[in-house]
C-alpha cells in the first residue's frame, strides 16, 4: 500500500504519527516489491515462495500470528547511475570486475556476473544489497563494511552515493524525508564521493596503463615475509640518492590526459546551430515542435520517458527549429541529438 503523509510543521520528527495526521491513499501494488527483501530479513519468511504457493493453488504456510519482526534491515539498490550527474543512468559498459560482499547479515540478489555487459533494456539496477543486524546502529556499521567491499568496476554505479548517505547525520538519525535529496543534500559532497569511491575512476584506462612491480621484505611479530606490490598507472621513476622529493623512494609523473575530443559518433550540426541532446536513455513520448518553429528558452520541445518517469526536454535558449531528429515512439540513447536549433 502506498500513501502520502501530510507534513505537520508543529510535529517533532522524533514523535510518532498520530490519529490527527492526514494520510492520502495512492495505490495498492499486489506484485512483489523491489524492497520485499527487507520484509523477508525481518520476518524470516520467503515471500516469493509464498506467492508461488498461492499461484499454484496452495495456501500460505504461515498465519498472521506467525509473523514477528526482528532486527533492522536496509536495502541498497546497486544501480548503474551517476549520482553526481543528477542520477543519470549509464547506457553502456560491462562488469570488468564484479565481486559482491558477503558475511553474516549480508545478502546480495543479482544476476549479472563478471564480464557481462550492462543490460539497459529495462532499468538501471544491477543488484540489490540487503543488510540485516539486531539494531539500526549495527546495521549501518555493517552496511558501511559491505558497501566498501563491493568490488565493481567497468560501469558507473550509485555505490558512492550510498556510502555518502551512511555518513549523513539526517539519514543516520532517521529524520530525513522524501524532500531531502532535492532540498538539503550538498551536491558538492555527492561529486566528491563519486570521485573518491567511483568504480569508473578506478578502472579508467586500465587497458593502457603500465604496471611496475616492486618487492619488499617485511617483518611482523618476529616473522619475515616477502611481499610483491604492483603500481598501476604511470611507471615509477627512481629518485637518485640525495635528490630531494619528500618521502623518497619512487615518484610518479602526472598521468597524461587524452585530448582526442571523445567519440565521433555525434550527428553533424551546422555551424552556429545548437543540438538538444538526450540526457538519458529512453523512449520519445511526444515531439512538441516542428521544423521552422520559433522557441524560447525553457520551452518544451519533446517528452522523454525513462525510468517510469516523463521528462520534459527543454530548449536552453531561444531560436528556430532547424531539424527534428526523432519521432514519437523512437528509442534514444544518452547523448543522441533530438532537436537542432539555429
Does 267 reside within a domain? no
Q: Do 100 and 39 reside in the same domain of the chain? A: no
Q: Do 124 and 181 reside in the same domain of the chain? A: yes
Q: Do 179 and 297 reside in the same domain of the chain? A: no
> What burial letters (b/e) apply to 277-298, b meaning 16+ CB within 10 Å?
ebbbbbebeebebeeeeebeee
Supply the pTM of this predicted model. Answer: 0.59
- Cα(324)–Cα(328) distance, rounded to whole angstroms? 11
| Mean pLDDT score of the chain | 81
Q: Do 62 and 80 reside in the same domain of the chain? A: no
Residue 8 confidence class, pLDDT cut points 50, 70, 90: confident
Q: Do 53 and 129 reside in the same domain of the chain? A: no
Q: Do 15 and 88 reside in the same domain of the chain? A: no
Q: Do 210 and 199 reside in the same domain of the chain? A: no
Q: Do 37 and 98 reside in the same domain of the chain? A: no
Residue 15 confidence class, pLDDT cut points 50, 70, 90: confident
Closest CA to 202 of 233, 230, 162, 228: 233
Q: Do 26 and 95 reside in the same domain of the chain? A: no
Decide if 248 contacts 239 (C-beta within 8 A): yes
Q: Can you tell me the mean pLDDT for 87-106? A: 89
Give tens-digit pLDDT for 186-240: 889 999 999 989 865 444 444 444 555 667 676 666 666 777 766 544 344 344 4
Give tens-digit pLDDT for 121-155: 778 899 999 999 999 999 999 999 999 999 999 99
Q: Do 42 and 87 reside in the same domain of the chain? A: no
- Other beta carbons within 10 Å of 275: 19
Expressed as residue numbers, the domain containing 188 is 75-204
Closest CA to 276 of 332, 234, 236, 235: 332
Does 268 reside within a domain? no
Does 28 reside within a domain? yes
Q: Do 109 and 187 reside in the same domain of the chain? A: yes
User: CATH number, domain at 123?
Assistant: 3.30.470.20
Does 166 reside within a domain? yes
Q: Do 145 and 41 reside in the same domain of the chain? A: no
User: CATH number, domain at 323?
Assistant: 2.40.50.100
End position of a domain, from candidates 19, 54, 70 = 70
Provide the Cα torsion 235, 236, 240, 241; round to 10°: -170
Does 20 reside within a domain? yes
Dihedrals phi, psi of 324, to nearest 5 degrees: -115, 115
The structural domain count of the chain equals 4
Q: What is the largest CA-CA distance in the chain?
A: 82
Give ∠ CA 54-56-61 in degrees, rounded to 5.
40
Does 139 reside within a domain? yes
Amino acid at each position: 500500500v502506498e500513501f502520502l503523509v501530510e507534513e505537520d510543521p508543529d510535529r517533532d520528527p522524533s514523535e510518532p504519527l498520530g490519529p490527527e495526521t492526514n494520510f492520502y491513499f495512492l495505490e495498492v501494488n499486489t506484485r512483489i516489491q523491489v524492497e520485499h527483501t527487507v520484509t523477508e530479513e525481518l520476518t524470516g519468511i520467503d515471500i516469493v515462495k509464498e506467492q508461488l504457493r498461492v499461484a499454484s493453488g496452495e495456501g500460505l504456510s504461515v498465519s498472521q500470528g506467525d509473523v514477528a519482526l526482528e532486527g533492522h534491515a536496509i536495502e541498497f539498490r546497486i544501480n548503474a547511475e551517476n549520482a553526481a550527474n543528477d542520477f543519470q543512468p549509464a547506457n553502456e559498459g560491462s562488469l570488468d570486475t564484479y565481486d559482491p560482499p558477503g558475511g553474516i547479515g549480508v545478502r546480495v540478489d543479482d544476476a549479472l556476473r563478471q564480464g557481462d555487459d550492462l543490460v539497459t533494456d529495462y532499468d538501471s539496477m544491477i543488484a540489490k544489497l540487503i543488510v540485516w543486524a539486531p539494531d539500526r546502529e549495527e546495521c549501518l556499521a555493517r552496511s558501511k563494511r559491505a558497501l566498501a567491499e563491493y568490488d565493481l568496476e567497468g560501469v558507473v554505479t550509485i555505490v558512492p552515493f550510498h556510502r555518502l548517505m551512511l555518513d549523513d547525520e539526517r539519514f543516520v538519525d532517521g529524520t530525513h524525508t522524501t524532500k531531502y535529496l532535492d532540498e538539503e543534500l550538498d551536491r558538492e559532497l555527492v561529486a566528491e564521493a563519486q570521485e573518491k569511491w567511483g568504480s569508473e575512476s578506478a578502472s579508467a584506462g586500465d587497458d593502457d596503463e603500465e604496471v611496475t612491480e616492486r618487492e619488499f621484505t617485511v617483518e611482523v611479530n618476529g616473522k619475515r615475509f616477502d611481499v610483491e606490490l604492483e603500481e598501476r598507472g604511470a611507471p615509477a621513476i627512481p629518485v637518485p640518492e640525495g635528490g630531494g622529493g619528500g618521502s623518497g623512494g619512487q615518484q610518479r609523473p602526472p598521468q597524461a590526459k587524452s585530448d582526442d575530443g571523445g567519440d565521433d559518433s555525434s550527428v553533424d550540426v551546422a555551424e552556429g546551430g545548437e543540438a538538444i541532446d538526450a540526457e538519458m536513455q529512453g523512449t520519445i513520448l511526444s515531439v512538441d515542435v516542428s521544423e521552422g518553429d520559433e522557441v524560447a528558452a525553457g520551452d518544451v520541445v519533446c517528452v522523454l520517458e525513462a525510468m517510469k518517469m516523463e521528462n520534459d526536454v527543454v530548449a536552453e535558449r531561444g531560436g528556430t527549429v532547424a531539424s527534428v531528429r526523432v519521432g514519437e515512439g523512437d528509442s534514444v540513447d544518452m547523448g543522441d541529438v533530438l532537436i537542432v536549433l539555429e
